[in-house]
Amino acid sequence: MTDSRLKLLLVVALVFSGLMFSSSVKAERVNDLYTATWPVESQATSVRAQAIQNSLQQALIRASGNLNVARSPAVQSALSDAESYLRRYSYQRLSAEEQMIYEKPLLLKATFDRQSIISLLKSASLPIWGEERPSGVFWIAVERAGERRVASDQSRSIKAALEIAAGSRGLPVTLPLMDMDDQAALEVSDVWGRFEAPLQEATQRYGTDYWVAASLQERNGQWQGTWKVSLHGRTQSFSTTGLTSYEAIQGAVNRVADSLASKLAVVLSEQAQDVTISVENIQDFEAFAKVQKFLNSLGMVRSASAVEVSGDRVLFKVESLTSPQNLIEAIKLGNNLQRSEPSFGGFENSGEQLRGDFHFVWGQPQI
């Protein structure tokens, strides 16, 4: 694409950027981030009041990425007046698998006011994790009665355990289909042994930001899980235990959520600072649109807009509500942007060379 044509497209894009760019390239939007649930025995008033308080705490954990959010005096005060944050609530009857986990027949579902939650976290100087979250696929090999199988979307008990654990942290996750394609890509032993090459190949079709592989088994009255997480070529291994498979899975989900939140959940400043980011290898309008879409999706970004173009490189001005270091860590988690050194000179503008504060190359997703 010629320089002049790309510049013309950028002008058009800037006009419509406020309408178009609201979601991430690879991450998923958690639309119900400020909704939380709590299991209850009945719909009695006293039971409901406590469940709403517990749900508010859960919503704050989801929104902040911080399991210890309730230690804040400001949050403790808010929990005592939980209903003032409440917008609506409802009940739903739990499935048999969910009842085995919760040991309750009903679930109270409470939706809280988004702006009130954000204001509370800001006033308490607690981190805020935006609605765009990295997505993951969980490959879990389960051993029962001496037989090992990889849990799929049809594995009701494991699916319920994973969805409940991930839901409590606001993580978009999935189990594999384990159809003919998955079975051709890997063996049960690959998942049990957490072998990276076949797992990466099998994960490509799901388009997620990371994968998790595990062996899960019951021994001596306890469930034990051995896990490996792979995010953009970086792996982390750990183990969990629990009296139930749910507790072992919950421990793993919390480890994953804590790791992601440490990079993406930040204490936001009221004052934005400008950071310039150059992105190379933008060959067409579609690539440009996806880059700007991703930058605007980050919770710590007030706005991101293109200010200059030269060849296949575009310079973006980003209004960041956090430090440049935190911003760059968040960008690095995006599947298509790879941190790099500039491969050629800066932008031409009135005879002066303009360089971004940081440089990235747009490329294919790397799981």
Output the pLDDT for position 332.
83
E-state strands within the chain: 28-29, 35-40, 86-93, 106-112, 132-133, 136-144, 147-150, 173-174, 210-219, 222-231, 234-242, 273-280, 301-310, 313-320, 337-339, 347-349, 352-354, 358-362
Instruction: Please check the confidence at residue 12 and state whether its pLDDT lies above 70.
Output: no
More confident call, 241 vs 234: 241
Name the CATH superfamily housing domain 132-264.
Answer: Ribosome hibernation promotion factor-like (3.30.160.100)
From the CB of residue 3, how many other CB atoms can be counted at a distance below 10 Å?
11
Residues 179-217 have pLDDT tens digits of 999 999 999 999 999 999 999 999 999 999 999 999 999
In angstroms, rounded to a whole number, what is the distance separating the alpha carbons of residues 333 and 299?
13
6: confidence class by pLDDT, cuts 50, 70, 90: low
354: confidence class by pLDDT, cuts 50, 70, 90: very low
Instruction: Please check the confidence at residue 287 and state whether its pLDDT lies above 80.
Output: yes
Instruction: Please check the confidence at residue 25 and state whether its pLDDT lies above 60.
Output: no
Output the pLDDT for position 299.
82
In angstroms, rounded to a whole number, what is the distance separating the alpha carbons of residues 341 and 312?
15
Instruction: Please check the confidence at residue 159 and state whether its pLDDT lies above 90.
Output: yes
The share of the chain scoring above pLDDT 90, in percent, equals: 75
Q: Are the C-beta atoms of residues 275 and 358 closer than 8 Å to each other?
A: yes
**Alpha-carbon distance values, 26 to 61, 195, 269, 337 (Å):** 23, 24, 26, 11
Instruction: Please check the confidence at residue 21 and state whether its pLDDT lies above 50.
Output: no
**Phi, psi angles (nearest 5°) of residue 239:** -125, 155
Instruction: Please check the confidence at residue 105 and state whether its pLDDT lies above 50.
Output: yes
Q: What is the mean pLDDT of residues 280-293?
A: 92
Output the pLDDT for position 180.
97
Task: State the pairing for strand pair 347-349/337-339.
Answer: unpaired
Taking the alpha carbons at both ends of the chain, their separation in whole angstroms is 28
Output the pLDDT for position 39.
98
In angstroms, rounded to a whole number, what is the distance separating the alpha carbons of residues 319 and 332?
17
Mean pLDDT, the chain, rounded, equals: 89
* Residue 119 C-alpha from the chain's centroid: 21
- Each domain of the chain, given as residue ranges in start order, spans 3-26+268-362, 34-123, 132-264
Q: What is the mean pLDDT of residues 85-106?
A: 97
Output the pLDDT for position 76.
98
8: confidence class by pLDDT, cuts 50, 70, 90: very low
Output the pLDDT for position 350.
39
Buried b (16+ CB within 10 A) or exposed e, 289-320: bbbbbbbbbbbbbeebbbebbbbbbbbbebeb
**Phi, psi angles (nearest 5°) of residue 140:** -120, 110
Instruction: Please check the confidence at residue 49 and state whether its pLDDT lies above 50.
Output: yes
Output the pLDDT for position 10.
54
11: confidence class by pLDDT, cuts 50, 70, 90: very low
Residues 293-343 have pLDDT tens digits of 889 888 889 999 999 999 899 999 999 999 898 899 888 876 678 888 776
Buried b (16+ CB within 10 A) or exposed e, 112-146: bebeebbebbbebebbbbbbbbbbbbbbbbbbeee
